[in-house]
């Protein structure tokens, strides 16, 4: 703790107070009680002098941290719950931010990103993929992997290990590039076309490809192809370039294909049988990559910045009032971001301008439009923190 820099965001001024250091938890707690900040951050880095200016801190290393945020995932639910507000006339409306306020014609509008089960589930799915990347592809010890819900729209992964601590920003960028499949060439993953098969009636090129049991991106590529073939509906398969006869054949034989392909994908055999064109194979490979790589654009700056401040686990998120919560590695799938992170008890009356439906600990509230309501305190704090409600004394 005494090697980390701490930062605090104030409520009213929205000012960041940083370059703070504490020798123990008691002094840290006393600072919290004095400052009463809206948000608490700490450095992913370790320093010899964490309270000095950046040039004099003496960097000792940094945790490897990933930030997966629902903001970076294109989910359809955003159209129904994200909002914008006008600081000039105080207008608040649902939907995508327009160029100008339709009420007062003001240009500088503020976006208000919301959160719901669907977008946070999408973020969780991406974090599950990232967890598997770290364990399966990089051999990271699960004991060094720490997962957290941010308390708002995403999840954080902290990899705390002596082996990773000294990585520089360029090395961390290489890890991000690998996870996002940037510059990945399928031909370098064992997928390539050989010369035409002289024994084939159609003289197709022989396709050699990776298998689902292969390590790294080879295995992921093969699993992605299997996922497409066994889950895509008729329209999606036709869009890949398969003929109607081939699509009908695939749909009929899916169970057998799924059993067989887990052991070995007979690439050339199915090319001849399904009369697959080179363009169709390229379409399949591109879509398979989309299926298995992270849809979320990892915040590269968070991962590569070796001096980064990140939200401190166990503290409240000032945008929701929910706690930044640690999640057991094997319980990520069942984690409920609208239940475990709730800390406030009791009730509070609020006036809500306009807000979509929210769910807190299994109960749904809203949608709201100029409503004066009494809510569980956790729901009231959430709405006030999001800037769509005010407390009624």
Tell me if 339 is assigned to some domain.
Answer: no
pLDDT in tens, 325-381: 999 988 999 999 999 999 999 999 999 988 999 999 999 999 999 999 999 999 999
Model confidence, pTM: 0.84
Range with lowest mean pLDDT among 245-249, 267-271, 382-386: 267-271
Q: Please report which confidence band the pLDDT of residue 77 belongs to, taking 50, 70 and 90 as the band edges.
A: confident
Distance between CA atoms of residues 132 and 46, nearest Å: 27
Same-domain pairing of 105 and 203: no
Distance between CA atoms of residues 282 and 225, nearest Å: 11
How many residues does this entry show for the chain? Answer: 393
Which CATH number belongs to the domain containing residue 10 in this structure?
3.90.920.10
Same-domain pairing of 383 and 284: no
Tell me if 37 is assigned to some domain.
Answer: yes
Tell me if 96 is assigned to some domain.
Answer: yes
- Which tops the pLDDT comparison, 78 or 62? 62
pLDDT in tens, 295-306: 666 788 999 999
Dihedral pair phi/psi, residue 68, rounded to 5°: -110, 115
Under a CB-based contact definition with an 8 Å cutoff, are residues 192 and 268 in contact? no
Same-domain pairing of 266 and 227: yes
Same-domain pairing of 268 and 372: no
Same-domain pairing of 282 and 362: no
Same-domain pairing of 237 and 130: no
Same-domain pairing of 200 and 272: yes
Instruction: List the domain range (segments joined by +) for residue 84.
Output: 78-115
- Say yes or no to pLDDT of 272 above 90: no
Tell me if 337 is assigned to some domain.
Answer: no
Dihedral pair phi/psi, residue 246, rounded to 5°: -65, -40
- Say yes or no to pLDDT of 138 above 80: yes
Distance between CA atoms of residues 380 and 352, nearest Å: 9
Under a CB-based contact definition with an 8 Å cutoff, are residues 241 and 230 in contact? no
Tell me if 338 is assigned to some domain.
Answer: no
- With a pLDDT cut of 70, the percent of the chain lying above it is 95
Distance of CA 181 to the CA centre of its chain: 16
| Residues sharing a CB contact under 8 Å with residue 153, sequence separation 6 or more, in sequence order | 69, 70, 71, 113, 115, 119, 120, 123
Average pLDDT score over residue span 62-76: 87
Same-domain pairing of 23 and 131: yes
- Say yes or no to pLDDT of 202 above 80: no
Under a CB-based contact definition with an 8 Å cutoff, are residues 185 and 282 in contact? no
Q: Which of 309, 331, 353 lies at the terminal end of a domain, its last residue?
A: 331
Distance between CA atoms of residues 43 and 197, nearest Å: 59
Distance between CA atoms of residues 324 and 343, nearest Å: 11
Dihedral pair phi/psi, residue 266, rounded to 5°: -85, 80
pLDDT in tens, 84-134: 889 899 888 877 788 899 999 998 898 878 888 999 998 999 999 899 899
pLDDT at 16: 94
- Which tops the pLDDT comparison, 176 or 278? 176
- Angle, helices 254-263/244-252, rounded to nearest 10 degrees: 80
pLDDT in tens, 40-50: 999 999 999 99
- Say yes or no to pLDDT of 203 above 60: no
| Residues sharing a CB contact under 8 Å with residue 359, sequence separation 6 or more, in sequence order | 116, 117, 338, 365
Under a CB-based contact definition with an 8 Å cutoff, are residues 10 and 276 in contact? no
Same-domain pairing of 195 and 170: no
- Say yes or no to pLDDT of 204 above 70: no
Tell me if 350 is assigned to some domain.
Answer: yes
Q: Which of 115, 139, 172 lies at the terminal end of a domain, its last residue?
A: 115
Same-domain pairing of 58 and 166: yes
Under a CB-based contact definition with an 8 Å cutoff, are residues 60 and 48 in contact? yes
Same-domain pairing of 262 and 358: no
Q: Please report which confidence band the pLDDT of residue 194 belongs to, taking 50, 70 and 90 as the band edges.
A: low
pLDDT in tens, 49-58: 999 999 999 9
Tell me if 62 is assigned to some domain.
Answer: yes
Distance between CA atoms of residues 46 and 59, nearest Å: 6
Same-domain pairing of 166 and 233: no
Token couple for 153: 């729209």
Tell me if 1 is assigned to some domain.
Answer: no
- With a pLDDT cut of 90, the percent of the chain lying above it is 59
Number of structural domains in the chain:
4
Under a CB-based contact definition with an 8 Å cutoff, are residues 294 and 180 in contact? yes
Which CATH number belongs to the domain containing residue 379 in this structure?
3.40.5.50
pLDDT at 331: 92
Read out DSSP for 11-49? SSS--EEEEE--SSHHHHHHHHHHH--SEEEEESEEESS
Read out DSSP for 265-287? --HHHHHHHHT--HHHHHHHHHH
């Amino acid at each position: 703790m005494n090697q980390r820099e701490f930062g605090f965001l104030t409520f009213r001024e929205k000012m960041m107070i940083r370059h703070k250091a504490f020798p123990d938890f008691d002094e840290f707690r006393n600072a919290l009680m004095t400052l009463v900040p809206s948000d608490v951050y700490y450095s992913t880095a370790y320093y010899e002098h964490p309270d000095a200016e950046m040039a004099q801190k003496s960097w000792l290393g940094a945790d490897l941290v990933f930030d997966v945020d629902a903001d970076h995932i294109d989910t359809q639910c955003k159209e129904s719950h994200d909002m914008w507000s006008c600081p000039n006339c105080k207008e608040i409306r649902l939907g995508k931010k327009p160029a100008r306020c339709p009420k007062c014609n003001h240009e500088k509008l503020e976006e208000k990103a919301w959160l719901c089960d669907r977008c946070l589930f999408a973020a969780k799915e991406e974090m599950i993929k990232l967890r598997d990347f770290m364990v399966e592809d990089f051999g990271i010890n699960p004991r060094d992997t720490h997962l957290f819900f941010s308390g708002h729209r995403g999840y954080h992964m902290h990899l705390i290990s002596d082996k990773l601590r000294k990585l520089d920003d360029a090395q961390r960028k290489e890890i991000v590039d690998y996870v996002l499949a940037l510059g990945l060439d399928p031909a370098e993953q064992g997928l390539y076309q050989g010369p035409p098969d002289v024994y084939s009636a159609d003289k197709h090129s022989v396709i050699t490809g990776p298998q689902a049991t292969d390590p790294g991106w080879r295995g992921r590529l093969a699993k992605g192809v299997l996922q497409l073939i066994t889950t895509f509906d008729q329209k999606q398969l036709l869009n890949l370039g398969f003929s109607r006869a081939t699509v009908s054949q695939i749909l009929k034989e899916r169970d057998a294909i799924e059993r067989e392909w887990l052991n070995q994908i007979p690439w050339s055999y199915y090319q001849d049988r399904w009369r697959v064109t080179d363009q169709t194979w390229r379409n399949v490979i591109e879509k398979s990559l989309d299926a298995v790589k992270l849809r979320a654009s990892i915040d590269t700056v968070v991962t590569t910045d070796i001096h980064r401040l990140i939200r401190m686990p166990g503290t409240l998120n000032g945008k929701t009032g929910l706690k930044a919560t640690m999640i057991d590695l094997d319980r990520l799938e069942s984690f409920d971001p609208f239940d475990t992170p709730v800390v406030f008890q009791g009730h509070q009356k609020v006036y809500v301008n306009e807000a979509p439906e929210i769910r807190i600990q299994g109960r749904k509230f809203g949608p709201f439009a100029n409503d004066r309501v009494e809510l569980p305190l956790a729901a009231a704090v959430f709405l006030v923190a999001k800037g769509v409600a005010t407390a009624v004394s």
